[in-house]
Amino acid sequence: MDKKLVALLFLFFVAFGFFSAVTVFNKPITQFTRAKEEILPSASKSKIIGWPLTLKADGQTESTISVFVVSESDKPLTDKSVKLLSTLGQVKEQSVTTDGNGKAEFHLVSTTPGTAEIEAEVDPSIKVTQKVTIQFE
């Protein structure tokens, strides 16, 4: 056989095998060709939740603030360093590493009445766009 014909037949069978595998496994081709970005935290999809939102400013009653760090595809990210920034009060933990669910938990207390605006920083360069406010009375 001619070398060109053998090369074309080989190319045909490789392409046929690839598209057959995609059809059988029902996966889009972009899944095989797209670069994985599952390790980068998403500033817009990560969330901050605080409870309770109103509490006494006695320095003992604490609000629990949970930060959920996820990727652009909403997958939880583990082992990410999270730091909480507050305009009022004291955060008991300086930095927390996310667990298997992408969760980092903090505790906030204050002796000064007022509203604390809280934001989170993931791996020092990424600020979570969502903020939460806690009212101390």
Residue 126 lies in a domain: yes
Residues 127 and 100 in one domain: yes
Q: What separation in angstroms does the CA of 37 have from each of 41, 42, 71?
A: 9, 10, 8
Residues 99 and 60 in one domain: yes
Q: What is the mean pLDDT of residues 18-26?
A: 75
Indicate whether 70 pLDDT > 80. Answer: yes
Structural domain tally of the chain?
2
Confidence of residue 124 (pLDDT cuts 50, 70, 90): confident
Q: For 81-123, how does the pLDDT look when each residue is reduced to its tens digit (9 = 90+)?
A: 999 999 999 999 999 999 999 999 999 999 999 999 999 999 8
Residues 56 and 26 in one domain: no
Residues 106 and 57 in one domain: yes
Q: For 24-68, how does the pLDDT look when each residue is reduced to its tens digit (9 = 90+)?
A: 776 665 665 655 657 889 999 999 999 999 999 999 999 999 999
- Relative to beta strand 114-122, strand 126-127 is antiparallel
The pLDDT assigned to 134 comes to: 96
Residue range of the domain that includes 24: 3-33
The pLDDT assigned to 96 comes to: 97
β-bridge mates for residue 67, sequence order: 48, 104
The pLDDT assigned to 89 comes to: 95
Residues 19 and 69 in one domain: no
**CA–CA gap between residue 79 and residue 97 (Å, rounded):** 5
Is pLDDT larger for residue 24 or for residue 74?
74
